[in-house]
Structure 1
Amino acid sequence: MQHPILLVGNDINNISRGQSWKDLLQEILTFCGTNCVQLDDKKPFPLLYEEIFLTAIQQSHIRERDLKGFIAKKIGDITPNELHARIRELKPAHVLTTNYEYTLEGSTPEQHSSLIKERTFSIFRKYTLHNTEYWHIHGDCLNPMSINLGFEHYGGQLQQMRNYVVSGTTYSSPQAPRLPLLQRLKHGPVSTYSWLDLFFTKDIHILGLSLDFVETDLWWLLTYRARQKFQRNTIPVHNKLYYYIPSEFEKAAAFKLDMLKANDVQIVSISAANKTAYYVEVLKRIKEK
Structure 2
Amino acid sequence: MTHIALLIGNDINNINKGTSWNDLLMSIKKKYHVQSLENGQKPFPMLYEEIFLNAIKQKHVDEKELKTFIADAVSAIQQNEIHELIRTLPIQNIMTTNYDFSLEGIHPKIKTSLVNETTYSVFRQYQSLNKNYWHIHGDCNNPFSINLGYEHYCGQLQKMREYVVNGPNYAPSTKVYKTSLIRRLQTGRQMVLQSWVDLFFTNDLHIFGLSLDFVEIDLWWLLTYRARNKFYKKNTFIKNQIYYYIPKKYVKDSADKIQLLAANDVRVEIVDDENKIKYYKAVIKSIKDKL
Same fold? TM cut 0.5: yes
Q: In structure 1, what is the equivalent of residue 117 of structure 2? A: 118
Q: Which runs of 4+ in 1 moved over 4 A?
A: none
Percent of residue pairs bearing the same amino acid type: 52
- Counterpart code for 1:198: L
Q: 2:244 is paired with a residue of what secondary structure?
A: strand
Aligned to 1:87: 86
Moved more, 221-230 or 16-25: 16-25
Aligned to 1:27: 27
After superposition, give the CA deviation of every residue in 1:257-277 in whole Å (9 maximum; x if it has no partner).
000000000111111241110
Aligned to 1:249: 250
* Alpha-carbon offset, residue 223 of structure 1: 0.2
1:259 matched to 2:260: yes
Whole-angstrom CA distance in 2 between matches of 1:38 and 1:253:
24
Alignment of 1:168-187 (within 5 A): 168-172=167-171, 173-187=173-187
CA distance in 1, matches of 2:274, 2:247: 10
Q: Given the alignment of the two structures, is residue 166 of structure 1 paired with residue 160 of structure 2, yes or no?
A: no
Deviation at 1:235, TM superposition (A): 5.5
Give, in whole Å, the separation in 2 of the partners of 1:51 and 1:269: 35
- Structure 2: which amino acid aligns with 1:182? I
Task: Say whether the 8 Å CA contact 1:185–1:235 is kept in structure 2.
Answer: no
CA contact (8 A) 2:4 2:203 kept: no
For residue 37 of structure 1, report the CA deviation from its aligned partner: 2.0
Structure 1 runs not aligned, ≥5 long: none
1:117 Cα shift? 0.7
CA distance in 1, matches of 2:208, 2:283: 8
Aligned: 1:97 with 2:96: yes
Tell me if the contact between 1:49 and 1:149 (Cα under 8 Å) persists in the aligned partners: yes
Q: What corresponds to 1:6 in structure 2?
A: 6
CA distance, structure 2, for counterparts of residue 91 and residue 13 of structure 1: 21
Q: CA deviation at 1:175?
A: 2.1
Question: Structure 1, residues 14-51: CA drift from partner, whole Å, max 9, x if none?
Answer: 101113221111111122232442222x0001000000
* Count of aligned residue pairs for this structure pair: 288
Equivalent residues in 2 for 1:94-243, closer than 5 Å: 94-172=93-171, 173-187=173-187, 188-234=189-235, 236-243=237-244
Partner letter of residue 146 of structure 1? S
- Take 1:283 and 1:219, find their aligned partners in 2: how far apart are those partners? 24
* Paired residue secondary structure (1:55): helix
Amino acid at match of 1:79: Q
Matched, 1:61 2:57: no
Greater CA drift, 101-110 or 230-239 = 230-239
Q: Output the amino acid matched with 1:142.
A: N
For 2:227 and 2:31, locate their aligned partners in 1 and report how far apart those are by CA, in whole Å. Answer: 42
